[in-house]
């Protein structure tokens, strides 16, 4: 069920068993709606939602408040169904513990390789991604700008996995392979919610070596890992750093409306240009895609786990977007700071900044200033958990 906490200064709160009123609603039906990133011309379809109880009617003052102004500035004047997943912002030094596991008997593992052997096997599969974009200077004149990142070869058909923020907004994408050969690439599909993208090059005359993808569900904290990527776009091949899995199941906010969940934290050095690069285990298997670092922090990097990446990438290759259930809201992550400022009853969840007319959320009676904290029996702490 949805649980809706309504505890704002301008709402009259009907006292229930707790200090805040809890309105219980059913979760989104399993038949997911259209993706928020579907190609133009395809209208998104709201998921069917049934209510176990009618939303309780609450009276609210009509006088504008500071919270109203804050929400209005986030939702914008002309939000559309696509507003549920706002346009991405560039990644800027992106900045739960999992439950204790029962003792298990580990199956015999394949023989571990030395670090040089792992690098030798993976280097042909890790490519440099160079992008050219147009930005505006202080006089509003277009100025060419370049960016660098890393990609991982997925198959012999020329599909390459990288980060969405590496190729977002790029006019020209060039892939440079380990042998020095370069090819222009086209975008197959992107997903800013998980910060993943797939690009493709013409393989005529190329012999590609796809990377071997592992299983991140088997990872253990303390396990050795190696980060391989083109740090700072330096010539002469990829940069290699070694570390361990520092933590699992990490969550970071990329902006006020987008959260990436279930990340691998590592102390293997991840530098600018490493984005989209490979985090590999000692069997030369890719178990993560390097994506973020904490600004000002040393030895704190994050990688998208490969199990989630496989699901996203398969959809991007098949249809160019990721199909997710469409609820019909503009979401904002609740943070402790936001909760303290506006005296919310909870410090985690999703604040409804806008309800799209005609959607399932509108029919259910969700309102601006509602906070979603649970889906069925699953707690919802941020937009990443909602979209997953």
Q: What are the residues whose beta carbons fall under 8 Å from the beta carbon of 280, sequence distance 6 or more?
A: 118, 122, 214, 225, 226, 227, 228, 286, 287
User: What is the rounded distance in angstroms from the CA atom of residue 180 to the CA atom of residue 185?
Assistant: 15
Q: Is 336 helix (H, G, I), strand (E, B) or coil?
A: helix
Of 165, 255, 257, 387, which is the active-site residue?
A: 165
Cβ–Cβ under 8 Å, residues 327 and 338: no
Cβ–Cβ under 8 Å, residues 329 and 82: no
From residue 388, give the alpha-carbon distance in Å to each of 75, 96, 292: 22, 16, 19
Residue 387 is among the residues annotated as catalytic for this protein: no
Residue 195 is among the residues annotated as catalytic for this protein: yes
Q: Give kind and range of the element (H or E) at residue 360.
A: helix 360-364
Cα 254 to the chain's mean position, in Å?
Answer: 8
Q: What does the block give as tokens for 378?
A: 């699953």
Cβ–Cβ under 8 Å, residues 339 and 265: no
Cα 309 to the chain's mean position, in Å?
Answer: 10
Residue 165 is among the residues annotated as catalytic for this protein: yes
Tell which residue, 142, 136, 139, 163, has the closest CA to residue 151.
Answer: 163
Of 275, 282, 330, 387, which is the active-site residue?
A: 275
Residue 381, burial from CB neighbour count under 10 angstroms (0-12, 13-18, 19+)? buried
Tell which residue, 196, 273, 175, has the closest CA to residue 229.
Answer: 273
Q: Give kind and range of the element (H or E) at residue 118.
A: helix 115-122
User: What is the rounded distance in angstroms from the CA atom of residue 133 to the CA atom of residue 296?
Assistant: 27
User: What is the rounded distance in angstroms from the CA atom of residue 357 to the CA atom of residue 32?
Assistant: 19
Active-site residue numbers?
165, 195, 275
């Amino acid at each position: 069920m949805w649980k809706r906490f309504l505890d704002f200064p301008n709402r009259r709160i009907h006292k229930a068993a707790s200090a805040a009123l809890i309105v219980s609603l059913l979760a989104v039906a399993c038949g997911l709606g259209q993706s928020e990133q579907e190609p133009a011309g395809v209208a998104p379809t709201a998921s069917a939602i049934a209510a176990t109880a009618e939303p309780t009617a609450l009276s609210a003052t009509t006088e504008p408040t500071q919270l109203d102004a804050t929400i209005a500035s986030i939702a914008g004047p002309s939000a559309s169904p696509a507003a549920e997943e706002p346009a991405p912002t560039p990644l800027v030094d992106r900045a739960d513990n999992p439950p204790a596991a029962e003792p298990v008997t580990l199956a015999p593992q394949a023989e571990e390789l030395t670090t040089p052997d792992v690098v030798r096997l993976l280097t042909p599969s890790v490519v440099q991604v160079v992008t050219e974009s147009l930005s505006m200077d202080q006089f509003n004149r277009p100025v060419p700008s370049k960016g660098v990142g890393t990609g991982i070869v997925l198959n012999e058909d020329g599909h390459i996995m990288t980060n969405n923020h590496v190729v977002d907004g790029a006019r020209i994408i060039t892939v440079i392979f380990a042998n020095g050969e370069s090819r222009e690439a086209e975008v197959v599909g992107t997903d800013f919610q998980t910060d993943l993208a797939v690009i493709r090059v013409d393989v005529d005359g190329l012999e590609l070596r796809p990377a071997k993808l592992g299983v991140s569900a088997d990872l253990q904290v303390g396990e050795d890992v190696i980060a391989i990527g083109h740090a700072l776009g330096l010539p002469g091949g990829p940069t290699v750093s070694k570390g361990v899995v520092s933590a699992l199941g990490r969550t970071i906010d990329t902006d006020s409306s987008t959260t990436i969940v279930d990340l691998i934290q590592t102390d293997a050095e991840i530098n600018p240009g490493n984005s989209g690069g490979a985090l590999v285990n000692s069997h030369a298997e890719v178990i993560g895609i390097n994506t973020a670092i904490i600004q000002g922090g040393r030895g704190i990097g994050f990688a998208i786990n490969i199990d989630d990446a496989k699901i996203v990438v398969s959809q991007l290759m098949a249809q160019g977007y990721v199909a997710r259930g469409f609820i019909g809201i503009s979401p904002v992550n609740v943070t402790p700071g936001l909760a303290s400022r506006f005296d919310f009853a909870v410090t985690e969840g999703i604040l409804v900044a806008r309800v799209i007319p005609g959607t399932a959320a509108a029919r259910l009676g969700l309102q601006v200033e509602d906070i979603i904290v649970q889906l069925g029996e699953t707690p919802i702490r941020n937009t990443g958990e909602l979209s997953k």
